[in-house]
Structure 1
Amino acid sequence: MLTSLTIKNYALIDHLKVDFNDGFTIITGETGAGKSILLGGLSLILGKRADLSSLKDTKTKCIIEAVFNVSNYNLKALFKAEDLDYEPQTIIRREILPSGKSRAFVNDSPVNLNSLQLLGERLIDVHSQHQTLQLTTNDFQFQVIDALAGNQKELEDYSGELLAYKQLKRELNELKNLKSEAIKEHDYNSFLLHELVEANLVSDELEVLEEEYETLNNVEIIKERLSEAYQLLSDEQIGVVTSLTALKNNLQKLSGLSSKYQDIYNRVNSALIEVDDIFSEIDVLQADVEADPNRLDVVNSKLQVLNNLLQKHQVATVSELIEIREELTEKVAVTENLDDTIQNKENEIYKAEKALDALAKTIHTKRSKAIPDLIKQLQAILEGLGMPNAQFNIELTPTKTYLSNGKEELSFLFSANKGGSFNALKKAASGGELSRIMLAIKLVLSNYTQLPTIMFDEIDTGVSGEISNKMGDIMLQMSKNMQVFSITHLPQIAAKGHSHFKVYKEDVNNVTQTNLVRLNHDERIVEIAQMLGGTDVSSSAIAHAKELLN
């Protein structure tokens, strides 16, 4: 509930601070006294865009501050979602600077207008004849029925399931698009993969094959050189082995004479051992070197395949080709498995649809049970508000589409006259009738859900006598469950309030200002008497005012 309101430097208001109570609060005042200014200031707290023309003194900033008791409003989740500090006594402040910029704060935390509007919608409902068009929208009509049906839990579950369902549908579309694109590439990728698989790639194979190719391609030269080397080593006259053996024998005779000769002898002996080993290895190599044209063809062909693949894929090593092969294997496998993936996704969607259908059915059943009760209550209330022939025809029509709040459309039809045809509310009801219908709906809603503070702004315009008395009774009844304000010109309604404020103008230092004052009991008598008979208060008007107040 709204507990206090402070307005500084706004329109005709210089400085105003007022505290409010719960229950039914009346605001009266002559036409042009500034009731609309008061509402305009309050609308800035609720997130309306600021206007520099609102400043009374353009050199000083405008400040509007409201304090709300939100302990019973279940707003912790909203505060958390908007990253705001939750306080049971929440302070909302709006500032308009002389530069034209505006700032908003909730519990001293800066907020943007979107957050302010979200919070404002949960705190105050300003209702006027101009805003009764909300009543004609399907969203609002569903909200009314669902409040009576007690569908809040089911609608929350449905909303969560619908969100998941839409995500699954998006994923399915992505998979189908991926499949469409993948099919185009699948054949080419499969061809490339087949080439790489056929090549039987082995890491570092290229170097081994190149070496083998060089050997096979130069067999005659290798055999010739190895044969010459063998002869140089083994010739009985001048061969290296023969010469080193002779040298060794020669030095052996000196090795015992001195360590110097022993060292040189040892080195020659080592050289002879090494050369002898080389001689044996060359002998083996000669035996291994054989011309093999068939193997040469095989190696040459494999090298051509590898080099062609390296060139095609623009890489330098067989290891890189192996990586490409693995990537292609995965791509081809994904494409080939897409049908299974799509089928699994469609199965998930089928399950989600079943869950949504079950929730939608429950929502429909509870709505269907609530509609007759809603019609009965509304028609009874409207009968007391001077609309004895008011009738409603509310029907639910199933749809195949999953809508945001179920799987059905709502037809909310109205007839004001006996025997008249039913039409949509905006066509069948006048502005005054819409105001009374909205009042009736707000009364019904107040019995089923926690409504925010409601401010009725002259919805009694054009109404008088017994009807206005009934409207006052309804507002008073609503105030048992919520805070209710009524800006009114009717004494029958003004007399029913628990507290009464008067908006008035006064000239201070030749400057017109708007003010708001709480009236005591005697002042209320005078104010209501003036509402009954004008500024010249008669004794009969005073008596009538006292009677209304009692």
Structure 2
Amino acid sequence: MITRLYIKDFILIKELVLGLKSGFTSITGETGAGKSILVGAIGLILGNRADTKTIREGAKKAIIEADCDLNGVPGMEQLFEENDLDFEPICKLRRELTTTGKSRAFINDTPVSTTVMKLIGERLADIHSQHHNMLIGETHYQMSILDTLAGNETLLDKYVQAYEAYQSATKELEKERKRIAEQAKEQEFISFQLEQLNQADLKSGELAQLEERQALAQHATEITDALNLLISFTDSDMEVPGVIQQIHSASRSLSHAADHYSQVKELHERLTSLELELSDMIREAGGLLDTIEVDPSELARIEERIDLLQGLLFKFKLSDSDELIQLRDQYQETLNNISNSDAYLLELGKSVAKKYDTAKVLSKQLTESRTKVAQELLPPLHSLMKELGIAGATFKVDLQPLENLSENGADSVQFLFATNKQTILQPIREIASGGEISRFMLALKTLLAEHSVLPTVIFDEIDTGVSGEVAEKLGGVMKRLGQNIQVLSITHLPQIAALSAHQLVVSKVEEESGYFTTIKEVSGEERVRELANMLTGAEMTEAALANARALLARNK
């Protein structure tokens, strides 16, 4: 339940700290005083959408903060853990709105998204307003009522997962069918292209090797002359020693010199190393020289092969022979897929059927659960409607099977209503008046509260269109509901306010800078005067005060 509210710079509220208690609390005040501001503030900390227009004029930021007692709310610890939040039995929710358009949400001072705040808020409170009265005619809302009463949350989650898996598999099957059909149209063309690539007998890295061999053949004379020049360093005769012989002689002389002059030793070592390196280079040059001889017919074959590969690269708009190999393999895989497409599609079809069967089994369980709760709903609902002054009305849940599975299962639902036994049952939106829908919704909310773990229910002027004895019966139902959960009700009827355990009065005060909304709890004689004011308006009479005391006495 919500134990404390702090509101600052929100609409007409400058700053307010409000303690909320368990049981049934009525919220009263003159029209326009700002009763719905309180509901709007609570809606924000439950994760509703924010509007910067709600920031009080002249302020830069609005803050709404609530302390909530989570003791006894099942599943809340797990929900906190799933969203990486530290669980505390007393939870603090906070929303901040700025004039720059930013909306920030916090749970126990940890920043969270409004989506996470809404997940937590949905477990804490339900705000029922005139909007919900309109929703009662909507199929999805009617189905959610059945599922709540049936406790179908876990089963529905399983079904939704199974249904989405079935839908995903169905879309995948359809996509593959279209893809294979398109490929089949191109099968002859792909086969022709593959045949060309297969005939080319492609080898990895071949083009680069061929181009290197071609360059070698085209510049053979130049390369041979360069290598022969290096090899000639070994040539010598009696008159002119070769380069190698000269270096060897110089190295030996430096070796003798190093015995007498140590600084020459490094020169000797470097020259010896040069002699070894040059000898090795000459030997390597000789080996390369043996590979340079190119047969003219071989050069022709090389050039022919290069022309073939480059022609294929140009045709397929590729840049490397290895890409031709990749394309060949892709073509082969495509043809293999076309050849094996029947078996492949058959396996996909089996997967779709299996996922459908799983979803179908779960949808059947949902149908059985909804059918059972729809039957169980009627006696207590008719009893509550009678208590609320619509005794002649009848209600029925019309649950019909769908031809195909939907995101909610295999059922469609229609709430049917008749104002008396003489009229035909018709969709509730078409037949019920505003007052009847309000009372019907209160009856439903009462039943939902008995089956739900929500600790708080907030009624925003659910008593619209009723008065007198019916109003007192509405208040009696809220009072009984407040024995199990926290009930907050905005009301303009003294019969309902008098039946609440606590009464908050919303008023508008005038200051130099404008009008502001204040909220305070009233009790004792102050509460008597507030009820008397609700009975008669501005004129305060002894009769009104006596009537107010009588209403409170009946509550006790």
Identity %: 36
- Deviation string, structure 1 residues 115-158 (Cα, Å, up to 9, x no partner): 54454444332223343111111111112222333323321211
Alpha-carbon shift at residue 14 of structure 1 (Å):
2.4
Structure 1 counterpart of 2:93, one-letter code: I
Alpha-carbon shift at residue 201 of structure 1 (Å):
5.8
| Residues 504/188 of structure 1: CA separation in 2 closer, same or farther (3 Å cut) | same
Q: Are positions 1:455 and 2:458 aligned together?
A: yes
Alpha-carbon shift at residue 370 of structure 1 (Å):
1.7
- Deviation string, structure 1 residues 84-109 (Cα, Å, up to 9, x no partner): 55444332223344556544333333
Written as runs of structure 1 = structure 2, the 5 A alignment for 1:208-357 is: 308=308, 311-314=311-314, 322-357=325-360
> Partner residue of 1:480?
483
| Residues 137/452 of structure 1: CA separation in 2 closer, same or farther (3 Å cut) | farther
Q: Are positions 1:158 and 2:159 aligned together?
A: yes
CA contact (8 A) 2:438 2:464 kept: no
- Deviation string, structure 1 residues 443-467 (Cα, Å, up to 9, x no partner): 1111212235211122223322332
Mapped to 2, the partners of 1:388 and 1:318 lie a distance apart of 87
Alpha-carbon shift at residue 498 of structure 1 (Å):
2.3
Work out which of the two has the higher radius of gyration on C-alpha atoms and give 1 or 2.
1
CA contact (8 A) 2:166 2:355 kept: yes
2:550 pairs with one of 526, 531, 544? 544
Alpha-carbon shift at residue 159 of structure 1 (Å):
0.8
| Residues 108/209 of structure 1: CA separation in 2 closer, same or farther (3 Å cut) | closer
| Residues 359/62 of structure 1: CA separation in 2 closer, same or farther (3 Å cut) | closer
Q: Are positions 1:29 and 2:29 aligned together?
A: yes
The SS at the match of 2:21 is coil
The SS at the match of 2:459 is strand
The SS at the match of 2:186 is helix
Structure 2 counterpart of 1:70, one-letter code: L
| Residues 55/194 of structure 1: CA separation in 2 closer, same or farther (3 Å cut) | same
| Residues 313/537 of structure 1: CA separation in 2 closer, same or farther (3 Å cut) | same
> Partner residue of 1:183?
184
| Residues 419/316 of structure 1: CA separation in 2 closer, same or farther (3 Å cut) | closer
1:424 pairs with one of 424, 427, 441? 427
| Residues 201/176 of structure 1: CA separation in 2 closer, same or farther (3 Å cut) | same
Q: What TM-score do you get using the length of structure 1 for normalisation? A: 0.75
> Partner residue of 1:262?
none
Structure 2 counterpart of 1:410, one-letter code: V
Greater shift, 29-38 or 390-399, is seen at: 29-38
Alpha-carbon shift at residue 164 of structure 1 (Å):
1.0
> Partner residue of 1:374?
377
1:492 pairs with one of 490, 495, 507? 495
Q: How many residues align?
A: 467
- Deviation string, structure 1 residues 473-496 (Cα, Å, up to 9, x no partner): 211222233211012222332222
1:436 pairs with one of 436, 439, 443? 439
Structure 1 counterpart of 2:335, one-letter code: V
CA contact (8 A) 1:492 1:548 kept: no
| Residues 116/303 of structure 1: CA separation in 2 closer, same or farther (3 Å cut) | same
Structure 2 counterpart of 1:192, one-letter code: Q
User: What are structure 1's unaligned runs of at least 5 residues?
Assistant: 211-295
| Residues 496/351 of structure 1: CA separation in 2 closer, same or farther (3 Å cut) | same
> Partner residue of 1:173?
174
Mapped to 1, the partners of 2:154 and 2:139 lie a distance apart of 20
| Residues 110/510 of structure 1: CA separation in 2 closer, same or farther (3 Å cut) | closer
> Partner residue of 1:138?
139
Greater shift, 309-318 or 177-186, is seen at: 309-318
Q: Are positions 1:95 and 2:101 aligned together?
A: no
Alpha-carbon shift at residue 182 of structure 1 (Å):
1.6
| Residues 183/88 of structure 1: CA separation in 2 closer, same or farther (3 Å cut) | farther
> Partner residue of 1:213?
none
Mapped to 2, the partners of 1:158 and 1:53 lie a distance apart of 40
CA contact (8 A) 1:525 1:545 kept: no
CA contact (8 A) 1:533 1:541 kept: no
CA contact (8 A) 1:445 1:451 kept: no
Mapped to 2, the partners of 1:419 and 1:129 lie a distance apart of 28
Structure 2 counterpart of 1:447, one-letter code: E
CA contact (8 A) 1:310 1:321 kept: no
Greater shift, 150-159 or 320-329, is seen at: 320-329
Q: Are positions 1:513 and 2:516 aligned together?
A: yes
Mapped to 1, the partners of 2:201 and 2:54 lie a distance apart of 82
CA contact (8 A) 1:129 1:432 kept: no
| Residues 198/513 of structure 1: CA separation in 2 closer, same or farther (3 Å cut) | closer
- Deviation string, structure 1 residues 176-212 (Cα, Å, up to 9, x no partner): 12202221332222223334445666779999999xx
Q: Are positions 1:406 and 2:412 aligned together?
A: no
The SS at the match of 2:340 is helix
Alpha-carbon shift at residue 342 of structure 1 (Å):
1.3
